[in-house]
């Protein structure tokens, strides 16, 4: 894990919708005849009719002009392009940060951190419940759960991890397809803001991180944070981890379509007669995505990315994908294939052990089986407790799926230098 730890110390800059700008060369660089690096090319955001169909999972390392990322600097640019594309086509834009005021109620193990945000005369408050571990001294590393943390919570507490319940439904409602524009995010930014619920949640999680950084009384170490969620909230956890590089670890639990399961592979499963959620269906169910994403309902192959690229935005930070092979609706094979393809980004960055995949069936939805406790514990020890001995090298399924993504990946993985 040594190479990964070096990567964490040099955390990638947060790139939401813009590429990095060219900076003037330093005096030392000018004396050596070194030119400033060129600015990144903006992402190509063509309209649907101009997008070419790609039956396989698109190459995450390919720029629009056909050039491929060969260096880490290239990947910084490509990552910014992918982030812009994901927000433009699928999730909706994440707005800039707002100043956040925070207050803490309670002095024991159970506390409430209340976020207060104001924009254009509108003020919202978001209460966030915190459960501190009984042992150790604050500040504690923490897992932020969208809705709640639904893992092996007692073990995590014994390990010294605080559990933070983020009320994402208050930030952006997700009851059904009629929930669009409801919640604190839209009170601040307007009911017509194009962000889907998951972009709104990620914005809210980032404001929570801002508040934790500025509020020692919460008892949380804001430099050692993870995010998790199950099912729809697992989808949201991936987005929050992808868009905020301050989050060290993402644990996506049974996230299904729009999470770990890729649109293209899920379409194939559905065509084969399996009861799998697809893009065409999910955009009619709820408001997790931007409203215009429904245009891709019958055109998933024209998306210039797929969910492997969304997960790849987290690299080289930690990601553990936990899936339930008994849940066909979640796209069990699709999640396996797509997660394997996503892991290629970690390989390119020299940190494959920072991304794990663990698929186990035979249990209820969002009920972590004991057989997966060890995987969760290892990733938490490694990324939140800085335990270099933790073994996070896990790529396992009990679904009998092929060990490689196969025909879905027709590109090679570069070694980014």
Mean pLDDT of 188-211: 98
Is the pLDDT confidence value at 25 over 90?
no
Is the pLDDT confidence value at 16 over 70?
no
Is the pLDDT confidence value at 162 over 60?
yes
pLDDT at 38: 61
Separation between Cα atoms, residue 11 and residue 238, nearest integer Å: 18
The SS3 assignment for 73 reads: helix
pLDDT bin (cut points 50, 70, 90) of residue 10 is very low
Separation between Cα atoms, residue 299 and residue 309, nearest integer Å: 18
Separation between Cα atoms, residue 331 and residue 326, nearest integer Å: 10
Is the pLDDT confidence value at 30 over 70?
no
Separation between Cα atoms, residue 217 and residue 113, nearest integer Å: 9
Q: Is residue 257 annotated as part of the catalytic site, yes or no?
A: no
Taking each helix axis from N to C end, the angle separating 263-271 and 332-348, rounded to the nearest 10 degrees, works out to 150
Contacts of 46 (CB under 8 A, 6+ apart): none
Kindly state the tokens that stand for 282.
């999910």
Residue 9, class by beta-carbon neighbours within 10 Å (0-12 exposed, 13-18 middle, 19+ buried)? Answer: exposed
pLDDT at 185: 98
Ranges assigned E (strand) in 120-214: 122-131, 140-146, 162-166
Q: Is residue 193 annotated as part of the catalytic site, yes or no?
A: no
Asked if 287 and 360 count as a contact pair (C-beta separation under 8 A), the reply is: no
Residue range 103-153, pLDDT digits in tens: 999 989 999 999 999 999 999 999 999 999 998 899 999 999 999 999 999
Kindly state the tokens that stand for 396.
């396992």
The SS3 assignment for 381 reads: helix
* Residue carrying the six token digits 């307007």: 190
Is the pLDDT confidence value at 78 over 70?
yes
Report field, pTM of the whole predicted structure over 0.85: yes
> Nearest-5° angle of CA 96, CA 98, CA 103?
145
Kindly state the tokens that stand for 169.
């439904």
Sign of the Cα pseudo-torsion (325, 372, 237, 390, in order): negative
**CA separation, residue 157 to residues 109, 161, 163, 242, 385 (Å):** 11, 5, 8, 25, 12
* Residue carrying the six token digits 């640019």: 77
Separation between Cα atoms, residue 176 and residue 385, nearest integer Å: 38
Separation between Cα atoms, residue 127 and residue 119, nearest integer Å: 18
Query: DSSP letter string over 269-333?
Result: HHHTT-----HHHHHHH-SSS-GGGGGGTT-GGGSS--HHHHHHTTTTSEEEEEE-TT-GGG-HH
Is the pLDDT confidence value at 174 over 80?
yes
pLDDT bin (cut points 50, 70, 90) of residue 9 is very low
Q: Count how many Cα atoms sit within 13 Å of the Cα of residue 349 in the half-sphere of its side chain.
A: 34
- The ranges assigned to domains in the chain are 2-15+69-408
Beta bridge partners of 226: 143, 249
pLDDT bin (cut points 50, 70, 90) of residue 37 is low
Taking each helix axis from N to C end, the angle separating 197-214 and 232-243, rounded to the nearest 10 degrees, works out to 60
pLDDT at 39: 78
Asked if 334 and 342 count as a contact pair (C-beta separation under 8 A), the reply is: no
Residue range 290-316, pLDDT digits in tens: 999 999 999 999 999 999 999 999 999
Separation between Cα atoms, residue 127 and residue 120, nearest integer Å: 21
Residue 96, class by beta-carbon neighbours within 10 Å (0-12 exposed, 13-18 middle, 19+ buried)? Answer: exposed
Separation between Cα atoms, residue 304 and residue 45, nearest integer Å: 9
Sign of the Cα pseudo-torsion (86, 322, 227, 167, in order): positive
The per-residue pLDDT of the chain, averaged, comes to 92
Residue range 227-271, pLDDT digits in tens: 999 999 999 999 999 999 999 999 999 999 999 999 999 999 999
Separation between Cα atoms, residue 254 and residue 270, nearest integer Å: 18
Catalytic residue of the set 103, 165, 363, 365: 365
CATH no. of 2-15+69-408: 3.40.50.1820
Catalytic residue of the set 199, 231, 334, 382: 231
């Amino acid at each position: 894990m040594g190479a990964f730890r070096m990567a964490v110390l040099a955390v990638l800059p947060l790139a939401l919708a813009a590429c990095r700008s060219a900076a003037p060369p330093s005096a030392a660089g000018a004396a050596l005849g070194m030119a400033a690096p060129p600015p990144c090319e903006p992402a190509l955001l063509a309209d649907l009719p101009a997008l070419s169909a790609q039956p396989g999972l698109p190459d995450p390392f390919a720029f629009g002009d056909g050039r491929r990322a060969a260096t880490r600097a290239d990947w910084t640019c490509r990552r910014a392009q992918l982030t812009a594309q994901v927000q433009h086509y699928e999730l909706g834009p994440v707005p800039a940060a707002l100043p956040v005021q925070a207050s803490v109620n309670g002095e024991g193990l159970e506390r409430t951190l209340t976020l207060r945000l104001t924009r254009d005369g509108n003020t919202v408050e978001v209460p966030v419940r915190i459960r501190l571990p009984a042992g150790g001294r604050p500040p504690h590393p923490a897992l932020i759960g969208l809705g709640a943390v639904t893992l092996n919570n007692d073990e995590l507490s014994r390990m010294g991890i605080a559990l933070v319940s983020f009320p994402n439904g208050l930030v952006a409602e997700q009851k059904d397809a009629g929930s669009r524009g409801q919640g604190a995010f839209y009170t601040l930014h307007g009911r017509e803001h194009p962000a889907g619920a998951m972009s709104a949640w990620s914005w809210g999680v980032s404001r929570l991180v801002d508040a934790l950084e500025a509020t020692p009384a919460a008892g949380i170490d804001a430099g050692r944070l993870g995010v998790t969620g199950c099912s729809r909230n697992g989808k949201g956890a991936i987005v929050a981890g992808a868009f905020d590089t301050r989050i060290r670890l993402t644990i996506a639990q049974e996230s299904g379509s729009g999470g770990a399961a890729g649109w293209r592979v899920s379409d194939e499963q559905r065509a084969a007669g399996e009861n799998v959620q697809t893009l065409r269906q999910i955009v009619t169910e709820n408001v997790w995505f931007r409203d215009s994403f429904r245009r891709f309902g019958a055109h998933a192959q024209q998306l210039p990315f797929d969910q492997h690229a969304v997960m790849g935005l987290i690299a080289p930070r930690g990601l553990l994908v936990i899936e339930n092979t008994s849940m066909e609706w979640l796209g069990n094979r699709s999640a396996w294939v797509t997660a394997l393809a996503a892991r290629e980004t970690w390989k390119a960055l020299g940190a494959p052990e920072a991304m794990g995949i663990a698929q186990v069936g035979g249990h209820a939805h969002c009920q972590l089986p004991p057989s997966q406790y060890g995987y969760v514990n290892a990733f938490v020890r490694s990324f939140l407790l800085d335990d270099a001995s933790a073994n996070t090298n896990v790529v396992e399924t009990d679904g009998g799926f092929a060990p490689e993504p196969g025909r879905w990946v027709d590109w090679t993985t570069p070694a980014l230098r």
